[in-house]
Chain A
Amino acid sequence: MRVMAQMAMVMNLDKCIGCHTCSVTCKQAWTNRSGTEYVWFNNVETRPGQGYPRTYEDQETWKGGWELNSRGRLKLKGGGRLKKLFTIFSNPIMPSIQDYYEPWTYDYSTLTDAPAQEHTPVAKPKSLLSGDDMKIEWSANWDDNLGGSAATEKHDPMLKKIADKVKFEFEQTFMFYLPRICEHCLNPSCAASCPSGAIYKRSEDGIVLVDQDRCRGWRMCVSGCPYKKVYFNHRTGKAEKCTFCFPRIEVGMPTVCSETCVGRLRYIGLMLYDADKVLEAASAPDDHDLYEAQRSVFLDPNDPEVVREAERAGIPHDWVQAAQRSPIHALINKYKVALPLHPEYRTMPMVWYIPPLSPVIDVVRDTGEDAEDTGNLFAAIDALRIPIEYLAELFTAGDVAPVDRVLKKMAAMRSYMRDINMGREPDASIPAAVGMGEEEMYDMYRLLAIAKYDERYVIPPAHSEQAHSLEELATECSLDYDGGPGMGGSGPFGEGSGALTPIAVENFQMLQNRQTADTMASPHDKGGRVNLLNWDGKGAPSGLFPPKSAGPEPVGQASTPDTSHDGATGPGGTGGLTGGADYK
């Protein structure tokens, strides 16, 4: 047994209202730079729908992830090492920007600079890639809320799989939202596809990161990831991906998307797993077995033997304790209501989902029956094959049994809790019908419905002897590194070239550039961003809004040292540099 710890997430889809707050805050924190305009580390898709990038789930086209070869061994679907090297000059399975969308801005200055004239001037869309006028035809959420789905729905790869049963008619439509981030897989095919070895899995917490100094822009990870969650920064020529907000996680704060989630539907915690078993589980012969196989890789953190092995493997004691309290462990292995997204890609994803009951409830309610009655709900779950099979295509490689079980548990919880809330005698037969005890059901309800911040996010901080250099990101503004401040923008060899810039300084510089720039479509000038990375969710993050008065009046407290050697002190404030780490 080789115990490793993995930071993981579960999302409860029933609560997602599709507001995209998570996507927007994530973008502000991480991809608000030129070259990453089209990059959404977090995106929220309406399902059924094509997803982002379009039809990414169709692995016969995009060839992401792993598959079994004829001898039952795992191999990269996009081709092995030699094939990768031979197609390195032009990757045949890489999506083009058209499969995402061409990013644009508007020519706002025509609005303010136009002379007096009869007709109101209009701001024309300009491509952020070429600076030319463009026609906007698609974006990250073009089919949001099933918009235009009559025309595009037939492209949904998951719907195609059950197509013989579905005539997509509006009357029988169901809909839910699927927020997605990188899965931080146990068996990441992005890392396996990277010729330079720049993508690595952190041995402490399993977060999958791209080493920007080692990435050489070979683009193999983009096609290797079946979830298409590695993006190519087209200005720096490097791959970028969701970081699980590691600077926050290291000080014990949840990711930005979780912190700002309006539905409070995200849970973060540790999972302990046996690294020796990953390969075997990922090679399970039948796709339908993959869900159970992955569950069998996880270890029970309460088992004394596991605790002993974990400590032998160098996992600190407070981490083991955190794993015991982990909501992820509870949802995946205790209540068994969370399911992995597309286990058939065999990457062993670690962001799991509680499938939504709402498509079922909506139907029952529309018939005028009681939508909180177990009998009605159970019957509907059995009858409504289409939504259920669709969910199964997403979460269990098409096996409806586990989805059935989860939905019935959720339905049972709903009716059981209604009795309690109405002051009636709770009915023990309801939990029993789904194989749960009353207390267990109540606990599950607590976790799903009313869990507080520190129950939803159980994140042990990185160890204090090393933590100072990390804390610095959140609490100090330090420009005392060699080279001094004044980096950012374009170096002589293209965007972002030049010596390493600490994250904090980069933010400051970029923020200032953005707030003082007033050019439009020229990508060269679009450097700036506001830093939400260390915003605690209270008040407005400094620098998000332009300063009220035009004077050079810092927004944050005056902890910014003199940066005058390049005249860089000006309006725009100190960005996120002064945000405190007090998040409790």
Chain B
Amino acid sequence: MSQFLWVVFPYICLTTFVVGHFWRYRYDKFGWTTRSSQLYEDRLLRIGSPLFHFGILAVFLGHVMGLGVPKSWTEAVGISEGLYHFMAVSIGAFAGFATLVGMAILIYRRRTNGPVFSATTKMDKAMYLVLATVIVLGLVNTVIANIIGHYDYREGVSVWFRGIFFFDLHPELMAEAPLGFQLHGLTAMFLFALWPFTRLVHVFSAPVGYLTRPYIVYRSRDYQELGSHRPRRGWERINR
């Protein structure tokens, strides 16, 4: 069982994540968008959306630190266990809370504003449900595991997670982790599997290139994509 939950399932999800994005980009470049609903309503969006997005960016960086960087490294550069803990909990809780409040505003808005609600697809609803679960569980873990209990995820979850990418498998570490962490891990994996089929794909088009490209883009006429025919050759074959 723990083999399935902590080895097979993550691999299935991550594979879906990668292959799914590839497929979606090939099949549905036109649908690759944020599907912004700002046009319909922007009083709630103006508060909720930045709160959520900046919050989740901070949460993401926190995960890179917590999951990606081994404990020995931070200790090597002299960050003590206590300091790390304090930073992780305070910044993490703050960012997580901002994300949660932002998300609550956005979901409330989506539900109560007629036009926004009718522009919500089934995929959106499923995605919101999973995303909200992941965020709530994450926040609960931060609070419970770090303030009330004391589970050091950097010696458990993190090692397991890094191991997935190096085929250095540690299902037993997850099997021992508290239930909150187990659920957070599983739902997050499920979210990754869902990712390429939702509007979350817009994360991968974060327009950082804008900072360096020239303001005005010139492009030549693109013949192939307009009609369904390739251009005719410009010469005639001679039959003799």
Contacting pair A469 B28 (CB below 8 A): no
For window 210-233 of B, CB contacts with A under 8 Å fall at: 210-211, 213, 215-221, 223-232
Give the chain A neighbours of B24 by CB distance below 8 A: 493
Contacting pair A234 B50 (CB below 8 A): no
Contacting pair A505 B228 (CB below 8 A): yes
Give the chain A neighbours of B35 by CB distance below 8 A: 217, 237, 494
In the complex the two chains form, what is the Cα distance from A92 to B27 in whole Å? 33
For window 467-507 of A, CB contacts with B under 8 Å fall at: 468-473, 476, 478-481, 491-494, 496-500, 502-505
Question: Which stretch (A186-194, A265-273, A405-413, A423-431) binds chain B?
Answer: A186-194
Question: Given that A96-B42, A499-B28 are known contacts, is A197 also in contact with B213, CB under 8 Å in the complex?
Answer: yes
Contacting pair B224 A196 (CB below 8 A): no
Give the chain B neighbours of A493 by CB distance below 8 A: 24, 28, 31, 121, 123, 197-199
Question: Which stretch (B75-83, B110-118, B147-155) binds chain A?
Answer: B110-118
Give the chain B neighbours of A194 by CB distance below 8 A: 210, 217
Give the chain B neighbours of A84 by CB distance below 8 A: 210
User: Is A218 located at the chain interface by the 8 A CB criterion?
Assistant: yes
Question: Which stretch (B4-12, B165-173, B179-187, B201-209) binds chain A?
Answer: B201-209
User: Is A247 located at the chain interface by the 8 A CB criterion?
Assistant: yes
Contacting pair B223 A466 (CB below 8 A): yes
Interface size class of A (residues with CB under 8 A): 35 or more
Question: Which stretch (A125-133, A136-144, A379-387, A562-570) binds chain B?
Answer: A125-133
Question: Given that A197-B217, A234-B119 are known contacts, is A215 also in contact with B211, CB under 8 Å in the complex?
Answer: no
User: Is B73 located at the chain interface by the 8 A CB criterion?
Assistant: no
Contacting pair B31 A497 (CB below 8 A): yes
Give the chain B neighbours of A187 by CB distance below 8 A: 216
In the complex the two chains form, what is the Cα distance from A265 to B80 in whole Å? 77
Contacting pair A97 B39 (CB below 8 A): yes
B235 to chain A, nearest CB (A): 9
User: Is A523 located at the chain interface by the 8 A CB criterion?
Assistant: yes
In the complex the two chains form, what is the Cα distance from A129 to B113 in whole Å? 10
Contacting pair A469 B217 (CB below 8 A): no
Instruction: Encode B105-149 as 1/0 by CB contact (under 8 A) with A.
Output: 000000000110111010100000000000000000000000000
Our pick among A127, A218, A472, A523 for the contact of B207 (Cβ within 8 Å) is A218
Which residue of chain A has its CB nearest to the CB of B215?
A192
User: Is A152 located at the chain interface by the 8 A CB criterion?
Assistant: no
Selected A-B contacts with CB under 8 Å, 24 pairs? A82-B211, A84-B210, A89-B52, A96-B40, A129-B114, A131-B114, A131-B118, A187-B216, A194-B210, A197-B213, A201-B218, A211-B219, A213-B32, A217-B36, A234-B115, A234-B119, A465-B231, A469-B224, A469-B228, A476-B229, A493-B123, A497-B30, A500-B29, A523-B118
Cβ-closest 7 pairs across A and B: A497-B31, A130-B114, A195-B207, A129-B115, A192-B215, A237-B35, A465-B234
Extra pairs beyond A218-B207, A493-B197 (9, CB < 8 Å): A96-B39, A192-B215, A200-B218, A218-B34, A237-B34, A470-B227, A481-B228, A502-B227, A503-B226
